[in-house]
Amino acid sequence: MDALAITLQYVFTGVAIGSIYAMVGLGFNIIYNCTGIINFAQGEFVMLGGMFMVTLTTVWKLPVGIAFPIAVLLVVLVGIGFERIAIHPLKNPSVLVLIMITIAGSILIKGLAMFAWGKEARYLPHFSGETPINIMGATILPQTLWVLASLLTVVVGLAYFFNRTLIGKAMRACAHNPDAARLVGISVKQMVTLSFGLSSGIGAIAGVVITPIILMDYQRGAMLALKGFGAAILGGLGSAPGAVLAGLLIGILESLGAGYISSHYKDAIALIVLLGVLFVRPGGLLGSADVQRLKKF
């Protein structure tokens, strides 16, 4: 392979994992916009999506087309259930308390997943076989196309939801000005529940499509969440286009770093870039500095 093909190969690999970071980052943003908190259980939704998919396809022998929506639905139920039980009943909780609750939720879900699926990594067959597709000397797995298609679907779906539907607009209204939203009759608490449902669903989609490539184990979510969080911050917390752009960027950098420098430093490279950008642009790539000043963190 010539140098160009090798680079292209690294980019393809990076785009696949970067799409996952992007989706996790989108999930962070949805909950952040609605509640002002970072949901540290976001990575667990990704892990659960993959794990449910493994069980549904290998134990229950369901075809991918049926198992996929069921797995996502199950995770959405977990997300909504988590919000209903742990967050909904609180009256005027502080941001710090909410964040600690999500950390506790993350630990709890991780523990339960360990009981349910064991400690070893779980394998999921690729959805459309493993015959690589050749593009300019580099190869791309059909599964990567699944990942990209999911990211595209999620982005288009979210754009439609937030700009065209009444509920989506109501969620934006409540993110922008909760008091005014309540005055027109929007129940902020309902919107918070909905935001957990939505972001757990997106996390689950990411988990389902990435599991065949990276395998899934009970503590895999944490690292994915960290990178997804990096994507959300790098893109500018709250900005959806920012999260997508930054997610892909982190994924590609990580993959190039692993290829050209050393795979030992792959996580470090991505995080150093993250820190570097934040030194220059504290608001993130697509966030504005003025908005940043008003944020709680």
Q: Which of 214, 204, 248 is nearest to 230 (CA)?
A: 248
Give me 105's structure tokens: 């939720």
Per rule CB under 8 A, is residue 206 in the interface with other proteins?
no
Contact positions with other proteins (CB under 8 A) in 151-180:
166, 169-170, 172-173, 176-177, 179-180
Q: Is the dihedral of CA 280, 284, 288, 290 positive or negative?
A: negative
* Residue closer to other proteins, measured from CB, 240 or 277: 240
Q: Which of 61, 65, 115, 183 binds other proteins (CB under 8 A)?
A: 183
Residue 39 CB neighbours (<10 A):
32
* Residue closer to other proteins, measured from CB, 140 or 171: 171
CB 26 within 8 A of CB 244: yes
Per rule CB under 8 A, is residue 295 in the interface with other proteins?
no
CB 206 within 8 A of CB 140: no
Least Cβ distance, residue 70 to other proteins (angstroms)? 29
Q: Which helix (H) or strand (E) holds 139?
A: strand 138-140
* Residue closer to other proteins, measured from CB, 163 or 263: 163
Per rule CB under 8 A, is residue 186 in the interface with other proteins?
yes
CB 79 within 8 A of CB 196: yes
Measured between alpha carbons, how far is 141 from 212 in angstroms, rounded to an integer?
Answer: 11
CB 204 within 8 A of CB 46: yes
CB 196 within 8 A of CB 171: no
Residues contacting residue 179 through CB under 8 Å, at least 6 positions apart: none
Least Cβ distance, residue 87 to other proteins (angstroms)? 17
Least Cβ distance, residue 166 to other proteins (angstroms)? 6
Least Cβ distance, residue 179 to other proteins (angstroms)? 6
* Residue closer to other proteins, measured from CB, 138 or 186: 186
Per rule CB under 8 A, is residue 184 in the interface with other proteins?
yes
Per rule CB under 8 A, is residue 290 in the interface with other proteins?
no
Q: Which of 128, 131, 187, 288 binds other proteins (CB under 8 A)?
A: 187
Least Cβ distance, residue 294 to other proteins (angstroms)? 13
Least Cβ distance, residue 45 to other proteins (angstroms)? 27
Residues near other proteins (CB under 8 A) are 166, 169-170, 172-173, 176-177, 179-188
